[in-house]
Amino acid sequence: MATVPPVILKLTKTANPLNYDHVGQTITYAYVITNSGAATLGPAQFTISDTGLSAPINCGEATLTLASNVTVTCSATYTISQADMDAGSVSTNATASGGGVAPSQPATAAITKGAAVPSNTNPANLTVGSTIKHQVVTGEWLWQIARCYGTDPTKLLQANPQLVNPAQITPNATITVPNIGSVGKIYGPPCVGTHTVQNGDTWNSIALKYNADATVLKMVNPTSTLAVGSTVKVPLNSAGATTSTGSAGNCADLTRTVKLAGVSAATTHFNICGTTDSSGKTKIFSINISQRVEDVGQGGLLQDITVLIETSTPLNDANSLIVADMNYDGNDDFRIVKLQPASANIPYLYYIYDPATRKFIYNEAYANITSPEFPGNFEIRSKWRESAAKSGIDTYVITNNTPRLSKRETWEAINETQATHLVTVYNADGTSQVTVNETVPLPIP
């Protein structure tokens, strides 16, 4: 009597949306492969073969290792044909292979002709608290993947130290998603879908249709005018999602005029999102930068930045984001207030514009420059006050986008009527000398 081999690879397949209503509509198939055996599988390339697709697809990276009960997710798109419209339904089988074990049993996901309805269920009954492997799909970003699995976005960042720029993750890369379901419902892939705009559609009606957050929906479609027949990206199941602080996220749209070489001086939208705790401190977690429709794609701006910095500044404060040319290259840059201290020393996060990539890049070298002024001549002046009795002005020179302290001028009270005045000059070779050391009358600047 033949021995029946144990089931090692399990496959679940889901479709989103569950219905279709026109030729050319795309359906996203999501696949979840689970290692149900006791032994670790791999490193190996796991693949999906679907009778509805022209070729197998890779699920996870070629060196993926699947421990017992660990899953990997991936997805593919299927385009509705005239034959599908005539048939009234589509049902194709898929199997998973890899790891040196037998293929999985076939899995299917039926879709039918009719008004599009999204799938909002946990496709594989993924276990709350488990860690899974997720293959990035074009159009996804880290925060939406966190929402998709109900996980803490900060923990998601920490679990993926290999990401050089978390705001720009690469399609087909495999990321680790820890402790799923810890801060929200597990929906599973697909995490991002598309919607073809119909007559009468609004941002709110589209969001409601896909259980999406209307603010996030608009943020990821900054150039869309909801023209009939156009396609918008949909952050599926983002409505009511929580963040790592447990507080509801909030966003503020700050418009600024930004002057850049080769780009018209248009109103630029800085959509800043974060959470505020009971003490009023805000943790900014994302900045979405975009310009008007006619500029994006023609030298315009379109960028997402992950920040993860705790501030004490309201997101919608008029002075919380300031635009200026801070490296004297003819292009505007921007800075964000970290907090509003009682003293005059206001610290900022600085983002310097890179014309080669049309991106704003965080610049650590500017971090020590508080309350900056830009008098010209490639200089920055930074006024500071250490105490009621001591203050100063630091002067920086800019070379290759890097500020270097070139002069420090200080005043310090020595009695009720007099103060010392020192000027120290710092040379490019690291040497310095005091050029002024005198006693001056109060008050100090």
- 347 CB-near residues (< 8 Å, 6+ apart): 337, 338, 339, 341, 367, 370
Burial class of residue 199 (count of CB atoms within 10 Å of its CB; 0-12, 13-18, 19+): exposed
**Closest-CA residue to 254 (of 268, 235, 244):** 268
Distance CA 255, CA 386 (A): 34
Reduced to 3 states (helix: H, G, I; strand: E, B; else coil), residue 353 is strand
AA letter at 256: R
* Residue 256 pLDDT: 87
Distance CA 56, CA 238 (A): 30
Got the DSSP string for 71-95?
A: EEEEEEEEE--HHHHHHSEE--EEE
pLDDT in tens, 32-88: 898 988 889 989 999 999 999 999 988 888 888 888 888 888 888 898 999 999 999
Q: Are 362 and 313 in contact (CB under 8 A)?
A: no
Prediction pTM value: 0.50
Report CA-CA distances (Å) from 133 to 16, 74, 136, 151, 182. Answer: 20, 9, 10, 13, 16
Distance CA 132, CA 99 (A): 17
Distance CA 168, CA 152 (A): 18
Q: Are 53 and 106 in contact (CB under 8 A)?
A: no
* Residue 176 pLDDT: 93
Q: Are 97 and 106 in contact (CB under 8 A)?
A: no
* Residue 320 pLDDT: 82
Alpha-helical regions (H) of 150-299: 153-158, 203-209, 214-219
Provide block-wise average pLDDT over 10 residues at a time, the chain (445 residues): 63 86 85 89 92 90 86 86 93 93 92 74 75 86 84 81 70 90 86 84 85 77 79 82 42 83 72 77 80 49 76 76 93 87 79 88 89 93 90 93 94 94 94 95 86
For the domain made up of 9-193, give the CATH fold.
Answer: Immunoglobulin-like (2.60.40)
- Residue identified by tokens 């006050």 is 385
Alpha-helical regions (H) of 333-431: none
Q: Where are the domains of the chain?
A: 9-193, 245-367, 369-445
In angstroms, how far is CA 219 from the centroid of its own chain? 11
User: What residues pair up with 384 in beta bridges, in sequence order?
Assistant: 392
* Residue 295 pLDDT: 40
